[in-house]
């Protein structure tokens, strides 16, 4: 089953930063479309090995603002044959409607998650970076979706 994981939340809650951290730490075996630039807003498509050692296509996009490139980037992931797409989305409105519409018309199940948020900084007082914790959990979820 194909899966679209929507990273939902209000603006300024770390969705783009968390997805970029995921994109830079995810164990891609090859890159089909690299993350462009050093910005938080981009997308990436690559292959990953599943538990049987077979290559599967995964895409991630980090722009969940209304009237942005979000819909275009999700379409690119779908058209590239991604079995799992991670997409940023606001809590409600156009971005959710666009992502869910694309998921439904393309045969993707939708999973909703949110980032970890700490007021003032993505790091806890003990130095733990919540973006790393998010990426670790998302890698596990993506692997489960690829079973």
Kindly tell me if the per-residue pLDDT of 11 is higher than 90. Answer: no
**Strand order from edge to edge, sheet including 84-89:** 30-33, 43-49, 55-61, 84-89, 2-8, 108-113
Q: The domain spanning residue 93 has which CATH number?
A: 3.40.50
- Domain interval for residue 15: 2-145
Which tens digits make up the pLDDT trace of 86-135? 999 999 999 999 999 999 999 999 999 999 988 888 999 999 999 999 99
Count the domains in the chain. 1
Kindly tell me if the per-residue pLDDT of 65 is higher than 90. Answer: no
Alpha-carbon span 97 to 48, nearest angstrom: 28
Alpha-carbon span 85 to 22, nearest angstrom: 12
Kindly report the number of other CB atoms within 10 A of residue 15's CB atom.
27
């Amino acid at each position: 089953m194909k899966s679209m994981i929507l990273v939902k939340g209000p603006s300024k809650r770390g969705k783009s930063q968390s997805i970029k951290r995921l994109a830079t730490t995810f164990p891609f075996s090859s890159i089909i479309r690299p993350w462009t630039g050093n910005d938080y807003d981009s997308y990436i498509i690559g292959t990953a090995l599943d538990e049987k050692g077979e290559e599967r296509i995964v895409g991630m996009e980090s722009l969940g603002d209304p009237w942005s490139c979000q819909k275009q980037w999700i379409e690119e992931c779908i058209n590239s044959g991604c079995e799992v797409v991670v997409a940023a989305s606001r809590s409600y409105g156009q971005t959710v409607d666009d992502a869910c519409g694309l998921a439904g018309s393309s045969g993707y199940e939708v999973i909703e998650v949110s980032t970890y948020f700490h007021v003032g900084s993505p790091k806890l007082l003990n130095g733990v970076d919540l973006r790393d914790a998010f990426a670790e959990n998302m890698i596990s979820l993506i692997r489960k979706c690829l079973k």
